Amino acid sequence: MEIVEITSVQNDLIKFALKLQKPRYRKSQQLIFADGQKTIEGFINDGIVFEYFFVKKNNNLIDKVKAKKLVYVTDEILKKITTTKSPSEVAGIIKEKSQDRNIFYSLDKIALLENIKDAGNLGTIIRSAVAFGVDGIILFGDCVDLYNSKTIRATAQNIFKIPIISLKDISFIKDLKKSHKLISTVVDGKNDLFKYKFKDKYILAFGSEANGISDKIAELSDEKLSVFMENNVESINLAICASVAFAFAKINH
């Protein structure tokens, strides 16, 4: 492990770390910027190898981390590069994992998330999906960057535990339907999700809070289910809805 020390916020590596926080540039480099003590500690516990690990000299994670380059930095630099409200004491850059979408044909329980714009919601849904036994996630359409720092933190260190792919083309979903039922959650459906039996391989689809699932997903759907609520509650947060659906599907599969 190479060790370097940086004291200037104008250093090229620090500028590079900042640029990685822009989705388009991050994707072009196939790298992920992550920060937050708990997030980083979770990645270390999972054996993730960091390309760069930014830390102050007295941090207790130094002896645990696997990194190609250990970068000692100042409080000023950490304040500059980290995205948390209070400056994080540690940050890192990780290589983005490539995912083979063909493995989704062999998965039993798949979540499809369409046009999810809120990073916190996406991270919470991923966390719940992992907790309740979903095998894989498809991000379809125009979703927030999977590796947004807020999304990563909201997953509570669960972002690498199941395969997640991003798609723009619906043809893969059409092909996946040969082996899986497409079950969409809708606001005004007539069928109650809590009465449905998840017997077969399935894709459980959720749309954005603002617009729900698109017409093209609705038209492909084998089932359209709603979460019926009591006490005149008109709607619940998308992440809560997905979590409830995942838990029920686990019990009734």
44 and 62 assigned to the same domain: yes
Say what the pLDDT of residue 211 is: 87
Q: What tokens does 169 get? A: 């083309």
Q: Which helix (H) or strand (E) holds 203?
A: strand 202-206
Show which of 80, 95, 110 is a domain's final residue.
Answer: 95
What CATH code is carried by the domain that includes residue 192? Answer: 3.40.1280.10
Number of separate domains in the chain: 2
Query: pLDDT tier at 84 (50, 70, 90 boundaries)?
Result: confident
Write the CATH number for 37: 3.30.1330.30
Angle CA 206–208–212, to nearest 5: 70
In this prediction, residues 93-117 reach a mean pLDDT of 95
Shared domain check, 61 and 146? no
Residue 131 has a CB neighbour count (10 Å cut-off) of: 15
Question: What's residue 88's pLDDT?
Answer: 85
Q: How far apart are CA 44 and CA 60, in angstroms?
A: 12
- Which candidate, 98, 88, 99, places its Cα nearest to that of 53? 88
Say whether both 143 and 31 belong to one domain.
Answer: no
For the stretch 121-137, pLDDT in tens is: 999 999 999 999 999 99
Tell me, yes or no, whether 197 and 90 share the same domain.
no
- Alpha-carbon distance 112 to 129, whole Å? 11
Candidates 197, 213, 209; CA nearest to 241 is: 209
Asked if residue 106 and residue 218 are part of one domain, the reply reads yes
pLDDT, residue 194, reads 87
Residues 35, 81 contacting (CB under 8 angstroms)? yes
DSSP for 143-197, please give it. Answer: PPPTT-HHHHHHTTS-TTSS-EEEES-THHHHHHTTTSEEEEE-SS-SEEGGG--
Same domain flag for 135 and 238: yes
Which structural domain, as residue segments, surrounds residue 40? 2-95
Q: 189-198 pLDDT, tens per residue?
A: 788 988 899 8
Domain end point (choices 69, 95, 121): 95
Given 54, 73, 95, the domain boundary residue is 95
Is pLDDT larger for residue 253 or for residue 215? 215
Q: How far is CA 44 from CA 14, 86, 206, 209, in A?
A: 22, 21, 32, 34
- For the CA atoms of the chain, what is the radius of gyration? 20
Mean pLDDT (the chain) is 92
Same domain for 130 and 42: no
Phi, psi dihedrals of residue 19, rounded to the nearest 5°: -65, -30
* Nearest CA-CA partner of 84 in 40, 116, 53, 19: 40
Same domain for 133 and 117: yes
Specify whether 119 is located in the same domain as 243. yes
